Amino acid sequence: MSDVTLHMEGPLAIVTLNRPERMNAIGGALLDDLHDALQSALDDASCRVIVLTGAGRAFCAGDDLKEFDAQSESDESIRSHIGRIQRITHDLMFCAKPVVGAVHGYAVGGGFEWMLNCDIVVASDDLVCFFPEMEWGQFVTGGVTHLLPQAIGHQRAMELWLLGERQSAQTLLSMGLVNRVVPRDAVLETALELAARIAQRSTTSVSKLKKLVTSDLSGLLARSLELESAVTIEAFALPDAAERVKAFTNRKTSQ
C-alpha cells in the first residue's frame, strides 16, 4: 500500500499521508510517494487546488526515528534523505497551484514544517505543533529558518525552535500560522470548501499570484534550504547522533 494517496474530487486533488500506524512519520517511502503524488496533481490539467492532509490521528509526527540508522549509515544516504525532505518544500511552495493544508492531531518537526509550507491551513481544535529537533540534536528543514521569522518575528521563532514547546491550535491562530480552527471532524470538509472556492477563481490569475508571491522568496528560501541541508547533514553524521535519537525516543516512550 502506498504511503501517500491521491484522490481527485473534480478540480481538487486530495493528497493524504497514509501511514496511520506510524502517525504518518516521515520515512523514505513516504517522501518518494509524496513527491510523486504532488507531481501527478501538478501535471493533471483538471486539478486547480491541492489539499494536503493525513490519515489517522495525526497529520505528521515528523521524522520516523526507527529509520534513523538506515538514513545515517553513509554520507550518500544522509544526503539523499535530506535532499528528499527539502524537495517536498520545493514541490509545495513553488508549484503553480495553491496548497490547502487540512491539519489535525500532531504536526511535529517535519510535519510542522510542511504545514508552514502550505498556502492556507485549516487546523483542528486538537492540533499540537512543536519542533523537537534541538532536543535530539538535529536541525529544522523546510525553509523555516527563513519563513518563520518573517511570519512571527525573530524572538518568537527562536523560542519555538530552542524550547520546542507544544503549541495549540488557538496559539497558532493568534500567531497567524493557521487560517481557521475548526472541530476535528470538520477539518477536511472545511479545507475542501475553501479549496473549492479557490478553484472557482481564474486559474491564470491564481497561478500568477502564487508565482509572484514566491518569486521574492525564491532566492532567499533556496539559500535557507541549502544551509539547512548542510547543517542537518552535519548533525546526522555526528558520532553521538544515534545515541541522542535513542535517548530522545526513550524519553518519549516513558512519558
Residue 224 located in a structural domain: no
235 vs 226: CA distance, rounded Å: 14
243 is catalytic: no
Residue 227 located in a structural domain: no
Residue 48 located in a structural domain: yes
3-state secondary structure of 119: coil
pLDDT at 250: 64
C-alpha cell at 246: 535513542
3-state secondary structure of 228: helix
For residue 210, which of 70, 73, 101, 49 has the smallest C-alpha distance?
49
CATH number at residue 123: 3.90.226.10
Total-model pTM: 0.93
Residue 10 located in a structural domain: yes
Give the sheet arrangement for strand 49-54, strand by strand.
Answer: 4-9, 12-17, 49-54, 99-103, 120-124, 180-182
pLDDT at 7: 98
C-alpha cell at 30: 513516504
3-state secondary structure of 153: coil
For residue 61, which of 102, 113, 15, 9 has the smallest C-alpha distance?
113
pLDDT at 243: 78
Cβ pair 240, 137 in contact under 8 A: yes
Give the active site residue among 113, 159, 226, 228.
113
Question: Which residue bears the cell 521524522?
Answer: 63
Residue 151 located in a structural domain: yes
Residue 180 located in a structural domain: yes
Other CB atoms within 10 Å distance of the CB of residue 247: 14
- 10-residue block means of pLDDT along the chain (255 residues)? 94 98 96 98 97 98 89 87 95 96 98 98 98 92 95 98 98 98 98 98 94 78 88 85 70 53
Residue 94 located in a structural domain: yes
C-alpha cell at 244: 541522542
Give the active site residue among 73, 133, 189, 234.
133
In the chain, how many domains are there? 1
pLDDT at 236: 85
pLDDT at 244: 73
133 is catalytic: yes
C-alpha cell at 222: 533556496
Q: Which domain holds residue 75?
A: 4-199
Residue 141 located in a structural domain: yes
